[in-house]
Amino acid sequence: MSVRARAGIATANRVVVKVGSSSISGVNAGQIEPLVTALAEAHSNGTEIILVSSGAIATGMPYLNLDSRPTDLATQQAAAAVGQNVLIYRYQDSLDRYGIVAGQVLLTAGDLEDLTSRSNAKRAMERLLSLGILPIVNENDTVATHEIRFGDNDRLAALVAIMTHADALVLLSDVDAIYTRPPEEPGAERIDLVHAGEPLAGVEFGEAKRTGVGTGGASTKVSAALLAAARGTGVLVTSAAQVGAALHGTDVGTWFEPADEAVPAVADRIGS
């Protein structure tokens, strides 16, 4: 059952956690260990954790001698093919400290739009969780095309949370919360709570990050949070540095209150 307030994350049965590329790749590759520590603690307390992790392309870039994220599809696919392998190795190497095994799940937008593929993906993740495995989900960038991409892994995480009936979704980035305007601007105020159905009128977002290694921004997180909350999953948006506090249900980040009843248009497409 979806938790109604952020404090309930600490005792949730199932939580989807999403982390962005910039938080766990490049100079921040070392942040995988504290992230895994927080996930392992929740796992040991009986919470089923599904990790949605970006970073395949960013992790693969140095191996292809690339200084910036490639713009052409073929090079993105090549970087993802190399980087996904390295990324999963890094996660598993860190998880070994806790005796936890990771299971890799790669999805395309088409997989979640097709009823049969979606059912297969859901069944596979349910089985992994029942076996005590920690699923690590990412978009299958090696085969995805521009026309059938999720657009960003925030949306993928929201769809995974809906599909698996997660009790909560935690979206992690480099910023500790959603603000009324870009946090570096004067007068920016942290938004503590977004009530179910609240449109967030008057909130100003900066441009989504399309340079460097990441592809998302505050607007993509809000969009994903509203999608999941409308389907009945509570969502916390905060920074990767605060993942431990987030999973303890501490008063951090921005909490998106779940709707009492799922929005039919969303439920009909994704909830089965």
> Domains, the chain, ranges and CATH?
6-270 (3.40.1160.10)
- pTM for this entry: 0.91
Contact 129, 102 (CB under 8 A): no
pLDDT digits (tens, 9 = 90+) for 49-107: 999 999 999 999 999 999 988 888 889 889 999 999 999 999 999 999 999 999 999 99
Q: Which of 137-151, 172-186, 190-204 has the lowest mean pLDDT?
A: 137-151
Please say whether the beta carbons of 229 and 258 come within 8 A: yes
- R_g (Cα) of the chain, nearest Å: 17
> Does residue 211 register a pLDDT over 70?
no
**% of the chain exceeding 90 in pLDDT:** 67
Q: DSSP letters of 174-222? A: SSSS-BSS-TTSTT--B--EE-TT---TT--------STT----HHHHH
* DSSP state, residue 258: P
Residue 174 annotated as lining a ligand binding site: yes
Any known ligand binding at 239?
A: no
Question: Any binding-site annotation on 122?
Answer: no
Residue 263 has pLDDT above 70, yes or no: no
**What mean pLDDT comes out for the span 140-164?**
79
Q: Looking at residues 221-231, what average pLDDT do you find?
A: 94
Give the mean pLDDT of 231-249.
97
**pLDDT, position 272:** 44
111 is in an annotated binding site: no
> Which distant-in-sequence residues (6+ apart) come within 8 Å of 182 by Cβ?
188, 204, 205, 206, 218
* pLDDT above 80 for 214: no
Q: Would you state the pLDDT for residue 150?
A: 62
Token code pair at residue 130: 């029942």
- Give the model's pLDDT for residue 109: 81
What pLDDT does residue 271 have?
47
Lowest mean pLDDT among 116-125, 139-148, 223-232, 248-257: 139-148
- The string of pLDDT tens digits covering residues 7-34 is 999 999 999 999 998 899 888 989 999 9
Residues 6+ apart with CB under 8 A from 231: 161, 162, 258, 259, 262, 263, 266, 267, 270, 271
- In the prediction, which pLDDT does 108 show? 85
Burial tier of 29 (Cβ tally within 10 Å: 0-12, 13-18, 19+) = middle
Q: Does 1 have pLDDT greater than 90? A: no
Q: Is 117 annotated as a binding residue?
A: no
Can you list the alpha helix ranges (DSSP code H) found in 26-105?
Answer: 32-44, 56-60, 73-95
Exposure of 19 by Cβ count < 10 A (0-12 exposed, 13-18 middle, 19+ buried)? buried
Q: For 191-205, what is each residue's pLDDT tens digit?
A: 999 999 887 777 887
**C-alpha closest to that of 51 among 164, 130, 211:** 164
Strand-pairing partners, residue 105, are 137
pLDDT attached to residue 141? 76
Quote the CA–CA distance of 43 and 165 in Å, as a whole number: 17
Tokens representing residue 149 in the block = 């991409």
Q: Is 153 annotated as a binding residue?
A: yes
User: Closest Cα partner for 256 from 236, 238, 242, 240?
Assistant: 236
Range from 38-52, 149-163, 233-247 carrying the lowest mean pLDDT = 149-163
